[in-house]
Chains A and B, each alone.
Chain A
Amino acid sequence: MRALVPSYQLTTPASLADALALLKSEPGVWKPFAGGTDLMVLLEAGKLAHRNYVNIWGLNELRGIDVTDTHITLGALTTYTEVQTNPILRREFPMLCQAASETGGLAIQNRGTLGGNIVNASPAADSPPALLAYDAEIELVSVRGSRWVPYQGFHTGYKQMHIDPDELLARIRLPRNTAGLTHYYRKVGTRKAQAISKVCFAAVGSTDHGSIKDTRIVVGSVAPIVIRCVQTEDLLRGKKLDDSTIDSARATLSREISPIDDIRSTANYRLRVAQNLLIDFLTTLRH
């Protein structure tokens, strides 16, 4: 059933300071509304339970990409289109660009934002696996100030996250330490364009004389949150990259994820695909 549009508030603050003041004035009453590509779907389906939103789309303080020698910092409202066209992201963070190019079609990419993708907190989101594999940090701002936290650990359960009602996700920061890494990103959906993931896999890794130095392995759509597979990473660290190691890693990964049956796929299929993608990543790393 369609939503009753007059029952929703969407107020447009003049500045970030005004937006934060509003979030603080009535805690939990107001929620941010960015590009709308998730929330408007719920609205039309009559499933948008919350009523009062702050329209942050026009806040320039939340836009832009800044580069220093050590980090690249993205405003929370950076769109998928902006991600794909940034030369430094294309060179140093190709998985994020690939994720952006495989999220929806162009009309979605023009409107969907990285910050929205994080705070919407879908376990099937496409950019979080890349952001986690790149060791992203996020900045939460409020009238009380600003805090940077590791993105790893931000999501605590299905649609649950460490953010206070008066806080807004403002920026995302990636350390520029990807030189020499193998990057492996693969989204598996029903079709190439527009599909929501059945499994999404992002990993980076490096080797030294046939042994694994380090990896970061992240899988989406196989747990209540996008999951960094730290046990698999621990198992792989320092090991010789041979068939026996790959087999042990596959077994560990299988215990670490908890896929379910749902509208898009089955637990069995997701498990098998996640295993195959891990094997493919490690095989890529070996060559």
Chain B
Amino acid sequence: MLINFKVNGESRSVDLFPMARLLDVLREQLQLTGTKEGCGEGECGACTVIVDGQIVNSCLVPVAQVNGCEITTIEGVAGTDQLHAVQQAFIDHGGAQCGICTPGMVLAAVDLLNRNPEPTEDDIRNGLAGNLCRCTGYMKIFESVVRAYRK
């Protein structure tokens, strides 16, 4: 079926099987490989993208359900000439190590700050609870998010 959606502000129209995972469509058809696959079952958050203003696990969304939607992937987070404050904070405060969880973490953090510009510690923990990281021990990620909004 023909799916029409906006990805990072750009209108796209792609012929796809309706049950194709949004994750695979982004990575393979649209070559937006910043979105990562971790577990493939909604546990790890590596494939997080924003659909119509809400984060989703793109491995759990069949592409038929994003027809007409606006999607933001990690490629659409930065401005034209500078990184998003969350991305810069991850660089400055060691929030990224191997990098597999990073796109999902950044999008979850961006979404959190969009909804709640001055989150409490609990808000940050809840906002990132669906994203697993095997390298950092989380504290540097947590610190990066705090620095991003205090800036």
Binding site for B on A (CB under 8 A): 5-6, 8-12, 33, 36-37, 40-41, 43-45, 53, 55, 57-58, 81, 101, 104-108, 110-111, 192-194
Neighbouring A residues of B45 by C-beta, 8 Å:
105, 107
B137 to chain A, nearest CB (A): 15
Known: A5-B20, A6-B17, A45-B41. A111 touches B130 (CB 8 A): no
Contacts A36-B62, A58-B65 given; 12 further ones with Cβ under 8 A?
Answer: A9-B19, A10-B19, A40-B62, A44-B41, A55-B65, A106-B127, A107-B56, A108-B57, A110-B55, A110-B56, A192-B129, A193-B130
- SS class, residues of chain A in contact with chain B: mixed
Known: A8-B19, A105-B129, A110-B54. A36 touches B65 (CB 8 A): yes
Neighbouring B residues of A81 by C-beta, 8 Å:
54
Known: A36-B61, A107-B55. A41 touches B42 (CB 8 A): yes
**5 cross-chain pairs, A with B, having the tightest CB-CB distances, nearest first:** A105-B130, A193-B129, A8-B19, A10-B18, A40-B60
Expressed in whole angstroms, the Cα–Cα distance for A110 and B64 within the complex equals 17
Quick check: B18 and A36 within 8 Å, CB to CB? no
A229 to chain B, nearest CB (A): 30
Q: Which of B11-41 contact A (CB under 8 A)?
A: 17-21, 40-41
Quick check: B130 and A43 within 8 Å, CB to CB? no
Quick check: A111 and B18 within 8 Å, CB to CB? no
**Which of A6, A108, A192 has most B Cβ within 10 Å?**
A108
Quick check: B40 and A44 within 8 Å, CB to CB? yes
Known: A104-B42, A108-B42. A10 touches B127 (CB 8 A): no
A25 to chain B, nearest CB (A): 19
Binding site for A on B (CB under 8 A): 17-21, 40-43, 45, 48, 54-57, 59-62, 64-65, 67, 108, 111, 126-127, 129-131
Expressed in whole angstroms, the Cα–Cα distance for A40 and B42 within the complex equals 9
Quick check: B41 and A41 within 8 Å, CB to CB? yes
Neighbouring A residues of B40 by C-beta, 8 Å:
44
Neighbouring A residues of B126 by C-beta, 8 Å:
101, 106
A85 to chain B, nearest CB (A): 11
**Which of B17, B42, B65 has most A Cβ within 10 Å?**
B42
Quick check: B60 and A41 within 8 Å, CB to CB? yes
Neighbouring A residues of B17 by C-beta, 8 Å:
5-6, 8
Neighbouring A residues of B41 by C-beta, 8 Å:
41, 44-45
A23 to chain B, nearest CB (A): 17
List 20 interface pairs A-B (beta carbons < 8 Å), by A numbering.
A5-B19, A5-B21, A8-B19, A9-B19, A10-B18, A10-B62, A10-B64, A12-B64, A40-B59, A41-B60, A44-B21, A45-B41, A81-B54, A105-B45, A105-B129, A106-B129, A106-B130, A107-B56, A108-B42, A111-B61
Neighbouring B residues of A105 by C-beta, 8 Å:
45, 129-131
Expressed in whole angstroms, the Cα–Cα distance for A36 and B23 within the complex equals 14
Least CB separation from B16: chain A residue: A5
Known: A5-B20, A40-B42. A12 touches B55 (CB 8 A): no
A242 to chain B, nearest CB (A): 38
Quick check: B21 and A40 within 8 Å, CB to CB? yes
Expressed in whole angstroms, the Cα–Cα distance for A36 and B19 within the complex equals 10
Least CB separation from A34: chain B residue: B65
Quick check: B108 and A106 within 8 Å, CB to CB? yes
Known: A9-B18, A40-B21, A55-B18. A107 touches B130 (CB 8 A): yes
Quick check: B54 and A194 within 8 Å, CB to CB? no
B15 to chain A, nearest CB (A): 12
Neighbouring A residues of B20 by C-beta, 8 Å:
5
The residue that A106 contacts in the complex, of B18, B21, B55, B61, with Cβ under 8 A, is: B55
Expressed in whole angstroms, the Cα–Cα distance for A192 and B126 within the complex equals 10
B58 to chain A, nearest CB (A): 9
Expressed in whole angstroms, the Cα–Cα distance for A192 and B129 within the complex equals 9
Quick check: A40 and B54 within 8 Å, CB to CB? no
Expressed in whole angstroms, the Cα–Cα distance for A193 and B127 within the complex equals 11
Least CB separation from A111: chain B residue: B56
